[in-house]
Structure 1
Amino acid sequence: MPGEKSLDFKASGKRLLAVLRPERWRLVAVVLLGIASVALAVSGPKVLGTATNVIFDGVVGGQLPAGVSKEQAIEGLRADGQDQLADMLSGMDVVPGQGVDFTHLRDLLLAVLAIYVASALFQWVQGLITTGVVQRVVRHLRADVETKLGRLPLRYFDGQPRGEVLSRVTNDIDNVAQTLQQTLSQLITAVLTVVGVLAMMFWISPLLALVALVTVPLSVVVTALIAKRSQPQFVAQWRVTGTLNAHIEEMYTGHALVKVFSRQEQAVAEFHDQNADLYEASFKAQFISGIIQPAMGFLANLNYVVVAVVGGLRVASGSLTLGDVQAFIQYSRQFTQPITQIASMMNLLQSGVASAERVFELLDADEQTPDPAEPAVLPERVRGRVVFEDVSFRYVEDQPLIDGLSLVAEPGQTVAVVGPTGAGKTTLVNLLMRFYEIDGGRITLDGVDTRATTRDALRSQVGMVLQDTWLFGGTIRENIAYGVQDVDEERLVEAAVATHVDQFVRALPDGYDTVVDDEAANLSAGEKQLLTIARAFLADPAILVLDEATSSVDTRTEVLVQQAMNALRSGRTSFVIAHRLSTIRDADTILVMEHGSIVEQGSHADLLAAGGAYARLYASQFAAAVAATD
């Protein structure tokens, strides 16, 4: 879920407004259209009140004797002791003996129709411009985030849960868009409506305006009291919702284990308990918050009664016309509606600003060091000589991991890196690829400092095959050719044949046009691994990195994978990270790492003969294998 409350609403709100700055002229147009629309909408009840006066004046005037003036009719009523009727008549525009002026009434009704049509048209254009503004702003925001993700170092992604980053890029940006779409024009219109209606109310009758305003602070107090009680229930609702969703996801993704350990009944019971908690929290939240609307309606009706009684007395005294009272009642209804809208938009604004704050945190994250302005150029044909010279590195500032590491990998050599978990094997590769920057020393490729050239130039010379295979939704052909521009079919098939991919692809119904789904569930683990090897083979890198590339496949598939990797390693400098020591016996050099340092290096036979750390690792694996066989 997007964040519900921002840490610094004022600062984040200002920054969100700054994002809207390129659209300022369109926003000015939105405000002007809002003013025009509200001005017309506010003038409508006043014109309708005038139409009511025409009808009422005509009805009353038709009952008075013709041939006398209004003043004479009033004097006659006072002489007959009908002072109250005379007072009311004095405030009316009547012609004794004349009925309803239907021509005037028709003109007024047509004017009202034109006013409301024009107001709706202005509001429609305002909404159209607002939608364009919001979508352009969000498009630029998404583009900024996408560009930022490309400039962030691997350190950032290692320190952030994947779902958290995805939530900022998707949910939070969508929430910002929804907030801007629902509040930008509506908030402007609501504020203008309050101002316009209030001005008309005071113009018609300051006394009635003051009477109507008495209910405003009362409405605010009632809304605040109810919201204060409903807010904890909404928090509980979303918390339990998250817990329930997590439980469902766990039970779905791990359904095989649930059945293996016969935990179906416990899982269902836990679901029912959490579902009951969600029902209770949701019921309380919706019930308590649902009281706001009838409470506001009750106060509005009280306001309506007070305005009607006081307005009726003012009409009877001749201080107001019936049409003015009718218009005022409409205004009093219109006055409470935008106030309620503004109150309801406050929570939406708070949520939107909180999401914007999370997006801004991503945009403000420290970026990787930029490439040099004048980068060094690698040789046209990179040989693949890699040298680590007194390299030091640490993930945490006060916790050294690699200190003074030096090694040389000659062109075409296969360098295997072994050691216990946490020894720094993968870190060695991350430093070579510049996923992390070294703290001391230097790393050279064919004599060129890797920090002196661009990351793209460096990484274009390195192919990686990782333990976790990554395939995207697309055809097998597209997955193999990933990262290679304009590859022809012949080269692609050659790479597939060399890496034992062609034989199983040909057996598929659509061959190389077979579509791989998002999770590549239609391929086995070994087939996916072979595809990643074919991808690296097609890229034809000078340096190859193999990180536990056979750890998740069966023994028979491992033979194929090993053969494919042997073909891939031919003529290339290769770094092989492995826990299965049997897979790296033929390596030219084996590096044994412990605590970020190379404690031993040499060939397989030499290291066994030395009886050191490598020999102990090899003996422990052999002993485990024998024990498993027994």
Structure 2
Amino acid sequence: MNKQSTFFRLLKYMRRYKLLYVCLIITMVVGTFLELFTAWFLSFITNAAVKGEVEAWPSLILLAVGMLFFIALNTYADTYFKQKASLKVRNDIRLDTLDHALRLPQSYYDKNHSGELLARFTSDNQAVGEASGNTIMGLIRNPLLALCAFIYLLNINWPLALISISIGPLMILVGKLFGEAMRKKSIILQESVGSATSFLQDVLGASVLYKIFGLEKKISKQYQQYSAKISEIERSQGKIQGSASATSGSIATLSFMIAILVAGFFVAKGNLEVGAMIAFIQLMNYLVQPFSQLPGLWSSMQQALAGAERIFQIIDAPKEYEELPDQGRAKFFGRLTVSSVGFSYTNSEEDMILSNVHFDVKAGQTIAIVGASGGGKSTLFKLLLGLYSPTNGLIEIDGRSQQSMGLREYRDYFSLVPQETILFTGTIRDNILDGNMAADEASVIAAAKKANAYDFIMKLSEGFDTEIGERGSRLSGGQKQRIAIARAILRDAPILLLDEATAALDNESEKIVQDALAKLMVGRTTLVIAHRLTTVQNADLIVVMENGNLVEQGTHNELILAGGRYHSLYYAQLEEKEGTESILMEI
């Protein structure tokens, strides 16, 4: 994406608020007129003073008061409209970015750190908003003011005007040369800030870990490296900005000095009034200042375009849905069929993570997926949930594939209780209602009771209105998992996926959660990833995965009699459990 197309895309957002920018143009024109009027007023009052026209002073005072009032009023309106335009454009882009981010496929999130994405919602968005208000109006206002000042200068003395305007092309050249360099540095800086934000997000979300493991010094040193890189880029930017300011300032000062010397010479010869010279000095400020500000404004615009480019990279990424979907739930389910499914993240036959996985699930059955770590169980769940599409083979529900029914309709068949509980900042009620946002209070309470969560919720000071903190930090692991189960109960989807939902819990919490899961599974088709094979002996079908391949499937008794991989895993776990118990008894 080049900077020109980025700029025109930004203009599309600004065009939504044409009336607001019309108001800004009006305040800009009025402000320019008041600036020129100030130059005329200085000329008039100087000539009156030189000629001793004392009787004109009451009128001049009234004129000065009126001028100050209109300048203050126009400045307020101009600032207000700039801020409003900036806020509206920034808000629109922020909302569009989030709407698109919510429709991005899981593969995008697997490749991009959330902290890097967060930087685009914050610092990049802020830069774009600033450009949509102050920066772009400054880029319009300054040339306009310079042009009007030049026309006024022509009326005073055309040779002086030509000397003064000579600064323009030089300033534009300075802005172009240094602006492009600033844009490149800005892109590098914003990428570095994004990396630092990603690192900080990881660190600030893992306070227990770095405190217990004594990682404070290591983290500090790592962040110093991020900070040093950012500082180095900012110093480089400072050098560029300093060079641009020094160059433009020197050109402006030189032009100003030459023009003043010539103007003074004309006054000394009697070819120019003193008042005209005072007006000329003021107009020179209006001519020089806009051109001297242009390089800085251009640099700010380049930085904003770099931020906009990073934001539009999110908006341009391929998405799963054309529109944000509504929450739904399938009402009828008969059969889930997995036929010769294979999967590769690279879509290459040489990098297959799953190969020829096949099984059949009827409504109401419980299917256990077991095997050693790295066998492909979690990847299979991602395929079942529609987070990825199979590289080959088919996953069908009642004879319909994901592609034929649409992704949202397909996902409506599923509910999930993950191993690592995912809760959002908010209240307990909010998180349970995520299962079914249309549910009433009675349904929320019933779901909590069925999940064995109601009693502990009511012991909290705010009950269902208790704030759970970031990622549920104010709740225990078992409590968080029961909230997740209540959410799944309220969703009431036909197919339930359990991803080792009790793996991280202590024995007491595990028993409570297992009881809640048992209630949730009643009458529901359930697929469960399990490491503890003793918990899935009653499953209707056990699928054994190893190195991405389905090596066995059958009931517990069938697989034990077969004496294969399941038999080895099962008895290895029994021996491990007996060994642990004997050690505990000796202690």
TM-score band w.r.t. shorter chain: 0.7 to 0.9
What is the SS of the residue equivalent to 2:452?
A: coil
Q: How far apart are 1:611 and its partner, in Å?
A: 2.2
Write out aligned runs for 1:18-167 (5 A).
Answer: 18-24=12-18, 26-56=20-50, 58=51, 100-104=52-56, 106-107=58-59, 110-111=62-63, 114-115=66-67, 117-118=69-70, 120-167=72-119
In structure 2, how many angstroms separate the alpha carbons of the residues matched to 1:180 and 1:477? 40
For the 8 Å contact 2:338–2:360, the answer to whether it is kept is: yes
Of the structure 1 ranges 552-561 and 384-393, higher mean CA displacement relative to structure 2 is found in 384-393
Decide whether aligned partners of structure 1 residues 363 and 587 sit closer, same or farther in structure 2, where only a CA change above 3 A counts. same
Matched, 1:195 2:189: no
Partner of 2:559 in structure 1?
Answer: 607
- Tell me whether 1:481 sits opposite 2:475 in the alignment: no
User: Could you say if the C-alpha distance between residues 384 and 534 of structure 1 is closer, same or farther in structure 2, counting changes exceeding 3 Å?
Assistant: farther
Closer, same or farther: CA 197–485 of 1 in aligned 2, 3 Å? same
Q: Distance in 2 between matches of 1:140 and 1:231?
A: 24
Whether 1:358 aligns to 2:352 is: no
Whether the aligned pair in 2 keeps the contact of 1:384 and 1:573 (CA below 8 Å) is: no
1:475 is aligned with what amino acid?
A: T
Q: Does the 8 Å CA contact 2:541/2:555 hold for their aligned counterparts?
A: yes
- In 2, the alpha carbon distance for the partners of 1:605 and 1:264 equals 52
Structure 1 Cα separation of the partners of residues 410 and 491 of structure 2: 14
1:426 positional shift: 2.7
Correspondent of 2:509 among 549, 557, 578: 557
- Per the TM alignment, residue 16 of structure 1 is displaced from its structure 2 partner at its CA by 1.5
Structure 1, unmatched stretches of 5+, are 1-6, 59-99, 372-376
Query: 2:489 matched to 1:495?
Result: no
Once the two structures are superposed, what CA deviation does each residue of 1:442-500 show, in whole Å capped at 9, x if it has no partner?
Answer: 43334444443354444333221001212223332332232324534444333323322
Contact residue 127 and residue 185 of structure 1 kept, 8 A: no
Give the corresponding residue for 1:388.
Answer: 338
- 8 Å Cα contact 1:126-1:185 kept in structure 2: no
| 2:503 is the counterpart of 1:509 | no
Give, in whole Å, the separation in 2 of the partners of 1:232 and 1:361: 17
In structure 2, the residue corresponding to 1:359 is in which secondary structure?
Answer: helix
CA distance in 1: counterparts of 2:135 and 2:550, whole angstroms: 61
Displacement after TM superposition at 1:367 (Å): 1.9
Q: What amino acid sits opposite 1:388 in the alignment?
A: V
Q: CA deviation at 1:514?
A: 2.4
Q: Is the 8 A contact 2:336 2:360 kept in 1?
A: yes
Q: Cα offset for 1:525?
A: 0.7
1:327 to 268, 279, 285: 279
What is aligned with 2:347?
Answer: 397
Q: Percent identity?
A: 30
| 1:418 maps onto 2:370 in alignment | yes
Question: Against the structure 1 CA distance between its residues 403 and 335, is the aligned structure 2 distance closer, same or farther, given a 3 Å change threshold?
Answer: same
| Secondary structure, aligned partner of 2:459 | coil
Q: 1:247 to 1:44 in 2, by over 3 A?
A: same
Counterparts in 2 of 1:621 and 1:165: CA distance versus 1, 3 Å: farther
CA 1:168/1:107 → structure 2, altered by over 3 Å: closer, same or farther? same
Paired residue type of 1:570: V
Instruction: Please give the per-residue CA displacement for 1:568-618, whole angstroms capped at 9, x wherever unaligned.
Output: 111111000122323222211111123444221011222122222223333
Change in Cα spacing, 1:15 to 1:255, as seen in structure 2 (3 Å) is closer
1:413-438 Cα shifts (integer Å, max 9, x gaps) = 10011234443323333333323334
In structure 2, the CA distance between the partners of 1:581 and 1:439, relative to structure 1 (3 Å rule), is same
Correspondences of 1:416-455 after superposition (within 5 Å): 416-455=368-407
How many Å apart are 1:325 and its aligned residue?
A: 0.9
Letter in 1 for 2:40: K
Q: AA paired with 2:347?
A: E
Which amino acid is the alignment partner of residue 38 of structure 1? T
Partner of 1:461: 413
1:385–1:573 Cα contact (<8 Å) kept = no
Contact 2:116-2:195 within 8 A present in 1 as well: no
Corresponding residue SS for 1:36: helix
Distance 1:127 1:456, change over 3 A: same
In the alignment, the residues of structure 2 paired with residue 241 and residue 509 of structure 1 have an alpha-carbon distance, to the nearest angstrom, of: 41
Distance in 2, matches of 1:160 and 1:325, equals 62
Change (3 A) 1:597 1:274: closer
Is the contact made by 1:461 and 1:541 (CA closer than 8 Å) also made in structure 2?
yes
Aligned-residue CA RMSD (Å) = 4.0
For 1:11, which of 5, 15, 19 is the aligned residue? Answer: 5
Q: Offset at 1:623?
A: 5.2
Preserved contact between residue 31 and residue 188 of structure 1 (Cα < 8 Å): no
The residue number in structure 2 matching 1:533 is 485
In 1, the alpha carbon distance for the partners of 2:80 and 2:4 equals 28
Q: Deviations over 1:154-185 (max 9, x none)?
A: 22222222222233234322321122122132
Give the SS at the match of 2:471.
coil
Aligned to 2:134: 182
Per-residue deviation, residues 94-113 of structure 1 (Å, max 9, x unmatched): xxxxxx33344554564465
Between stretches 24-33 and 521-530, larger displacement belongs to 24-33
Q: Deviations over 1:114-144 (max 9, x none)?
A: 4564455445444444444333333332332
The structure-2 alpha-carbon separation of the partners of 1:251 and 1:430, relative to structure 1 and needing over 3 Å to count, comes to: closer
Bigger drift between 279-288 and 156-165 goes to: 279-288
* Conservation of the 8 A alpha-carbon contact between 1:34 and 1:192: no
Structure 1: how far apart are the matches of 2:13 and 2:571?
62
What are the superposed Cα offsets for residues 4-47 of structure 1, whole Å, 9 maximum, x if unpaired? xxx62122112212332333454344334423321331232123
Report whether the alignment pairs 1:345 with 2:339: no
Q: Which amino acid aligns with 2:109?
A: F
- CA–CA distance in 2 between the matches of 1:252 and 1:124? 41
- Structure 1 residues 254, 533: CA separation in 2 closer, same or farther (over 3 Å shift)? closer
- SS of the residue corresponding to residue 337 of structure 2 reads strand
Q: Aligned AA for 2:33?
A: A
- Structure 1 length-normalised TM: 0.79
Secondary structure of 1:434 counterpart: coil
